[in-house]
Amino acid sequence: MSPDLQAVHDVLVDVAKQAGHMILSATPRVHAAGSKKNTTDLVTETDQAVEQYIQTTLAAQFPDMGFYGEESYTPGAKLGAEPVFVCDPIDGTANFVHGFPWVCTSLALVIDRKPVVGVIYNPFLRSLYTAIQGQGSFVDLTTPLPLRREPEPLTTLQHALVAVEWGADRRGPNFEVKQRTFVALARAVEDGGAMVHSLRSTGSAALNFALVASGALDLYWEGAAYAWDVSAGWLILSEAGGIVVDTNPGGWEATLDGRRYMAVRGAPAGQKELVQEFWGHVAGQLDYHA
Ligand code: LIP
């Protein structure tokens, strides 16, 4: 029997708000194990406590559904056909540690590797982004996305505001591709660059997706994120008319756990042309995989 998506949505909103209370009342303490991959890949006791709360609450209400969370993830675990809650208890953990208010809880119900309900809540800015498959997406439950009811066509990268993230990998070929691409995006057109209006990094993949869905960002190029960072945002963006493709040139089909995502805002024209222009500035292949 297919789940009642509205009921799931309502529970996820409540759970995300409760997670927000936990985050706001916590003192960020980096977990005793320190960091995961290196000193930039932080995990706090609050990440773990919030995920524990979310997992327990969802298991009690929806015992038939699986759980795929950042803090309890077993390396190699894949999304399958069965319904699963995909959870990032705190996306923007480094921001949380520093008190930089781009922090959120990101929750999605994924069925057959596609998100069907998505909820992102930033308790610091009190912004709630939500979507149910086929029913549009909203900020604060009532304002439809994108925020401009008649978004402008996308033209060229030169007129675009673009998000990128430095991520936690700071050496090796992927880091080289990223930093050379960032420079190519910023560089003057006369010198062969795209000369985008500017680059932004909020430190939260989920909130970057929400900003692309709202139309505040034109495009977000992300290699190295995980399904828990993007599942809710992917649905919220798609329901707002946006698209998600691969970071690497020619990859029109991105997958939820494929770790490489380029998100483009909703527009009456120009999405595919902007993607192709962007791929022309990607300085190699990002080698991240499911
Ligand atoms: C974060 C991502 C962000 C990336 C950070 C980190 P976390 O997730 O959302 O895009 O730049 O390195 O991976 O760890 O805060 O959930």
Please report, for residues 69, 96, 98, 106, the alpha-carbon distance to residue 103 in angstroms, rounded to integers and kept in the order given.
17, 6, 11, 10
- pLDDT per residue, tens digit, the chain (290 aa), is 789 999 999 999 999 999 999 999 999 888 766 667 788 888 899 999 999 999 999 999 999 999 999 999 998 899 999 999 999 999 999 999 999 999 999 999 999 999 999 999 999 999 999 999 999 999 999 999 999 999 999 999 999 999 999 999 999 999 999 999 999 999 999 999 999 999 999 999 999 999 999 999 999 999 999 999 999 999 999 999 999 999 999 999 999 999 999 999 999 999 999 999 999 999 999 999 88
Q: CA 128, CA 195: separation in Å to the nearest integer?
A: 32
CA 10 to chain CA centroid, Å, is: 21
Give the per-residue pLDDT at 35.
67
Q: CB neighbours (10 Å) of residue 230? A: 32
pTM of the model: 0.97
Nearest CA to ligand 1 atom 11: 167
Q: Are 147 and 126 in contact (CB under 8 A)?
A: no
Give the per-residue pLDDT at 33.
65
CA 57 to centroid of ligand 1, rounded, Å: 24
SS3 212: helix
Q: Are 29 and 131 in contact (CB under 8 A)?
A: no
Q: CA 28, CA 127: separation in Å to the nearest integer?
A: 21
Q: Are 112 and 120 in contact (CB under 8 A)?
A: no
CA 1 to centroid of ligand 1, rounded, Å: 35
Exposure of 47 in the CB half-sphere (CA atoms within 13 A): 28
Give the per-residue pLDDT at 108.
98
Q: CB neighbours (10 Å) of residue 53? A: 15
Q: Are 55 and 69 in contact (CB under 8 A)?
A: yes
Q: Could you give the maximum distance between any two Cα atoms of the chain, in Å? A: 59
Q: CA 134, CA 159: separation in Å to the nearest integer?
A: 30
CA 260 to centroid of ligand 1, rounded, Å: 13
Give the per-residue pLDDT at 189.
98
Give the per-residue pLDDT at 134.
98
Please report, for residues 57, 145, 218, 240, the alpha-carbon distance to residue 214 in angstroms, rounded to integers and kept in the order given.
29, 5, 9, 8
Q: Are 129 and 145 in contact (CB under 8 A)?
A: yes
Residues with CB under 6 A from ligand 1: 70, 88, 91-93, 165, 167-168, 203-205, 225, 229
Rg (CA), the chain: 18
CA 120 to centroid of ligand 1, rounded, Å: 14
Q: Which residues contact 272 (CB under 8 A, 6 or more apart)?
A: none
Residues in the chain: 290
